[in-house]
Every structure is written in C-alpha cells, then in structure tokens.
Structure 1
Amino acid sequence: MDVYLPIANLSVNGLVIVALGALTGILSGVFGVGGGFLTTPLLIFYGVPPTVAAASAASQVTGASVSGVLAHAQRGGVDYRMGLVMVAGGIFGTGIGALLFRFLQSIGQIDTVINILYVLMLGTIGGLMGQESLQALMARRGGAARPPRKRRHHPLVASLPMRWRFYRSGLYISPLAPLTIGAVVGVLTMLMGIGGGFVLVPAMLYILGMSANVVVGTSLFQILFVTIVTTMMHSLTTKAVDIVLAVMLLLGSVSGAQLGAKIAQRAPPERLRLLLAIIVLAVALRMAFGLGYRPPEIYSVVPL
C-alpha cells in the first residue's frame, strides 16, 4: 500500500510506517520512553530525510504518550507536580532547540548533526543499560539477590536552594533540578525528534532519586506536553512536519502503548532492559556505519 508523503516528497509503504508506530507505542508503554529515539533512525534508514523524520516523529510521540499516560494515571503512577515543573523546563528547552535547528539547517549541517547525536546518545545509553541488565541477570541466575539500591538524590541536587515537596515522588528538593533536566530534554526533542524518555527516566531515578513507581508515568506526562510544543515549533519554524507520515505513525503507536503497558506488568524487567539495550546498540552501530560509507547518491534534494 504505497502512500505519498508531501513534505518528504517520496512514496512509502503505509503498512511499514504503521508497524514502526506500533513498535514505538510498545516501547512507550513498557519503558516510559517516547520511542522517537528509534522511530527517527528507522525512518532515516527507510529513506525519509532526517529533518522530516525528526520533526514528524516528535508529533507521533505525542500520541503514544497520551495513551501511556492514561494507562499509568489509572494506577496513580504520575507525579503531576513534578511533571509540570519538567514541562516548564522542556518548553524553554524547545525554544533553544528551535534556534539551534534553524542555524544548523541554514549552514547545511543539520542531517550530519542529527546522525552524530544519535550515535553518541544511543551508544552511551545502550551500553550502560546493557551492562546493568547483564549484571542483574547474572545475579539472579546465581541465586544471589542484588541489594536494593538506596533511593537518594544526587549531592548537587541537595545543594540547590528553594526546596519544594513532591509528595507523590517522596522528595523534598529544589525545583531547579527537574527544571534543568526538562530543559535538556526539550533541546534533544527539538533537534532529534525524540520523546527524551531514555534520558529522562535514568535522570529521574539516579539524579532526582524519584520513587520507581511514578517514574514511567511522570516521564510520559512530561513527554506529552513537550512533544506538543515541539510539533508546533517545527510547524511554525522549520516547516518539516509531514502530517501524512505523522498520522500513519500515530495509528500504530496509540494501540501499541496499551499493549506495552500490559507487557511491562508481566515480563521480567531485567530481560526487557537487555532487549532494549540490544536494539539501541544495533541502531547506533547502523547509524555509525551510515556516517562512514559513501552513499550511492552523493547529492540529494530535500525541501527546507
């Protein structure tokens, strides 16, 4: 089923795009990540220009996040106060990201920068996640239970002024910490089309020291609003959002998020993290290879 994408200026198989959206939705429900960190590279591999892939994936992540937030909110797994602080930081970050995107686009380096960022981010996150998952699995097979990690925020967070109470997360910290984390995620969302969950979730656990039972839901809550703003920014500034591509991705992601939430309740978390780490590292290696070999077509014409 061929479908023409007006902004990307190419025809694609609609069923393949819907399947990519479903994969994103499953990842959203299982891990609390928006899934754009995989959607954008896979779209690039399929032939979609990186600028269009990043802008359209951000809008698609919104749909996956809506479904995921509803699933986690039903069991009280969202810290709305913490989420709103991160949303404020994320909106500020998207503004900075929009300026960077336009600058890199004007000098013709946006595609290269997007690819390099993905290689660095995915390689680092995938490696750390894989190491932790293997250690957990080896400890489980050896019959030695891993000692529970003491939940505490980073010393730098403890030194910040103006502390607030975040009751759902069980924290008494400065809002400047989640505000800064939200801003960093906003910049990444604008530049890379990611939801930012694969950065946000570890930061919430290991830097802020949030309770694990609200991390995924709160992450999706922040991703939801930041990706909405990112889509609006792209529509008004870069003009790179392909609505046809975004709608097809949404069709798969909304249903996939509900399935992912059910999988998360049944599957062993160590194996899920290991599987995600393998996928992330495979995508990073593929993108690194793409940066180093000479393409069959040296020049390409894409809409700006």
Structure 2
Amino acid sequence: MDLYLPIANLSVNALVIICLGGVVGLLSGMFGVGGGFLTTPLLIFYGIPPTVAAASAASQVTGASVSGVVAHIARGTVDYRMGGLLIAGGVAGAGIGVGLFRLLQAVGQIDTVIALLYVLMLGSIGTLMARESVEALIAVKTGRRKPARKRRHHPLVAALPMRWRFYRSGLYISPLAPLLLGVLTGILTMLLGVGGGFIMVPAMLYLLGMTAQSVVGTSLFQILFVTMATTMMHALTTKAVDLVLALLLLIGSVTGAQVGTRISMAARPEYLRILLAFIVLVVAMRMALGLGWRPDEIYSVQLQ
C-alpha cells in the first residue's frame, strides 16, 4: 500500500515504514533505549531525505515518550527540578540547532553533516557498549563481579559554582551542569532527530552522579518536552516535519515496543547488550559506507 509523503515529496510503502517503526520499537522494548538514534539512519537507508528523516523522527520520539513519562510520574521517579533545568537547556540548544541546521542547509552540507555525526556517534557508542558487554560476559563466565562504583559526580561538575540541592536525585551540584548537558542534547535533537536518552542517561549517571532510580524518569521527562519544542521549531523554520511519516512510525513503534518488552523479560541482559552493540556498529558502518559510495546518479533535481 503506497502513500504519498507531502513533505518528503515521494511515495512510500506504508507497511515498510510501519515495519521500520516496529523494528525501532522492538529494540526500544528489548534494550530499554528510546530507539530514536536508529530511526533516522533506517529512514535514510530507505530513501527518505536526511532532513525530513531527522525532523520527523523527533516528532515520533515525542509520541513514543508520552506513556513512559506518565508511568514514571505515577511512580514518583521524576526529579522535576533537575528536569526543568535540562528542558531549559534543551530548548536553548534546539534554538542553536535551528541556526546550525539552516546554515548547513544554505551551504548544501546538511545531509553530509547528519551522516557524519551519526557515523561518529554510533561508532563511539557501539564500541563502548561492545567493550562493556564483553567485560560483563567474561565476568559472568569467570564468576568475578566488578566492584560497585561509588556514586560521585565528575570533578568538572564539582568545580562549577552556585550549588543547588536536588533532593529527588540526592545531589548538591551547580545548576550549570544539567543546563549545559541540556543544551548539548537539544542541539543533537535538532540536527539528528534523536531523543538524546542514549547520551543523557550515561551522563546523568556518571557525570552528574544521579541515583539510578530517578535517571530514566527524569530523562524521559526532558526528552518529551525538548522533542516537542524541536518539532515545533522544525515545523516553523525548516518545514521538514512530515506528520504522515511520523504517524506511520509511531504505529509501528508502539506495537514493536510491546513485543520487545516480552523478549527482554525472557533473555539474559548480557546477551541483549552485546546484540544491541552489534546492531549499532552495523548501522554506523553502513552510514560510513554510504558517505564514500559513488551513487548511480551523481546529480539530482529537487523541485522547490
């Protein structure tokens, strides 16, 4: 069943797009990640223009985050003070990202920059995940457990001035740290269409030193509002949000997440992590290959 995407200006098979969303939702349910960092590359592989893929993926992440945020609010695992600072930084970062996005569009390099950022980001994340997964598997096989890490924020965070108390997270740190982290995430969300949870969660744990109980809920709370702001900015400035595409992705991701959750309950976490690392590295290599691969048609005509 073919559907015309008005913003992408092409026809796609609706079932294929729903299946792509289902794959991302499946990974989200299996591995506990938002999956947004895989949505844009998969859409690009299918032939969606990178600008439309990134903008539409951000709106799909917004819809997919709602149920998770509601659940964590009910459990009381959201640090609203921390989340407010992350949101403020994220919205500011999205504003900076708008300027970068339009500048790169003007010079005709936005597609290349999106691909390069994904190669660097997925390559580094996949490598770190693979190393940690292998270490965890060796520990399980040998029966040696890694010593528990003492919860402590990074020395750079400790050096920042004007400390506040974040009671839900059990922290006494400068508000500048979450604010700057939010700015970085907002820029990435604007340029790449990702929720940023795959960067936010490790940073909140290892840089800010937050308790594990409040990290996921606070991260989802921030992602929901920052992706909403990003979608609005894209719609008003770049005009690259394709709501038909986002809706198809959302239908697939909601269904896939339910299946992935069931699988995750039956599989061992060590094997799940190494599988995710393998998938991320494969996508990164495919993106890198696309940067150097000579296309069949060197020139293309785009109607304005």
Helix, strand or coil: the match of 2:75?
coil
Deviations 1:101-134 (A, max 9, x none): 0000011000000000000010001101110111
Residue 271 of structure 1, CA deviation: 2.6
Could you say which residue in structure 2 is the equivalent of 1:25? 25
Residue 272 of structure 1, CA deviation: 2.5
How many Å separate the matches in 2 of 1:297 and 1:278?
31
Distance 1:98 1:42, change over 3 A: same
Helix, strand or coil: the match of 1:301?
coil
Deviations 1:168-204 (A, max 9, x none): 2221111110110010000000011111111111111
How many Å separate the matches in 2 of 1:210 and 1:258?
28
How many Å separate the matches in 1 of 2:220 and 2:32?
6
Could you say which residue in structure 2 is the equivalent of 1:188? 188
Distance 1:205 1:115, change over 3 A: same
Distance 1:204 1:32, change over 3 A: farther
Where do 1:167-246 residues align within 5 Å?
A: 167-246=167-246
Q: Does 1:100 align with 2:100?
A: yes
Residue 33 of structure 1, CA deviation: 3.6
Residue 258 of structure 1, CA deviation: 4.9
Amino acid at match of 2:277: A
Residue 34 of structure 1, CA deviation: 3.0
Could you say which residue in structure 2 is the equivalent of 1:160? 160
How many Å separate the matches in 1 of 2:249 and 2:96?
26
Where do 1:253-292 residues align within 5 Å?
A: 253-258=253-258, 260=260, 267-292=267-292
Deviations 1:237-283 (A, max 9, x none): 10111111011111122344455556556644333322221111110
Residue 224 of structure 1, CA deviation: 0.7
Deviations 1:124-182 (A, max 9, x none): 01101110111011101111122111111100111112212222222111111011001
Q: Confirm or deny: 8 A CA contact 1:165 1:173 kept in the other structure.
A: yes
Q: Confirm or deny: 8 A CA contact 1:32 1:201 kept in the other structure.
A: no
How many Å separate the matches in 2 of 1:157 and 1:259?
39
Helix, strand or coil: the match of 1:172?
strand
CA RMSD of aligned residues (A): 1.8
Q: Which runs of 5+ in 1 are unaligned?
A: none
How many Å separate the matches in 1 of 2:37 and 2:174?
29
- Bigger CA drift: 217-226 or 53-62? 217-226
Distance 1:301 1:211, change over 3 A: farther
Distance 1:78 1:177, change over 3 A: same
Q: Does 1:124 align with 2:124?
A: yes
Where do 1:136-155 residues align within 5 Å?
A: 136-155=136-155
Distance 1:229 1:203, change over 3 A: same
Q: Does 1:85 align with 2:85?
A: yes
Amino acid at match of 2:8: A
Q: TM-score, normalised by structure 2?
A: 0.94
Where do 1:26-65 residues align within 5 Å?
A: 26-29=26-29, 31=31, 33-65=33-65
Q: Which runs of 5+ in 2 are unaligned?
A: none
Amino acid at match of 1:149: R
- Bigger CA drift: 259-268 or 285-294? 259-268
How many Å separate the matches in 2 of 1:148 and 1:217?
23
Residue 23 of structure 1, CA deviation: 3.0
How many Å separate the matches in 2 of 1:199 and 1:303?
37
Residue 26 of structure 1, CA deviation: 3.9
Distance 1:72 1:268, change over 3 A: farther
Distance 1:85 1:33, change over 3 A: farther
How many Å separate the matches in 1 of 2:127 and 2:98?
29
How many Å separate the matches in 1 of 2:13 and 2:81?
42
Amino acid at match of 2:117: L
- Bigger CA drift: 101-110 or 81-90? 81-90
Residue 32 of structure 1, CA deviation: 5.2
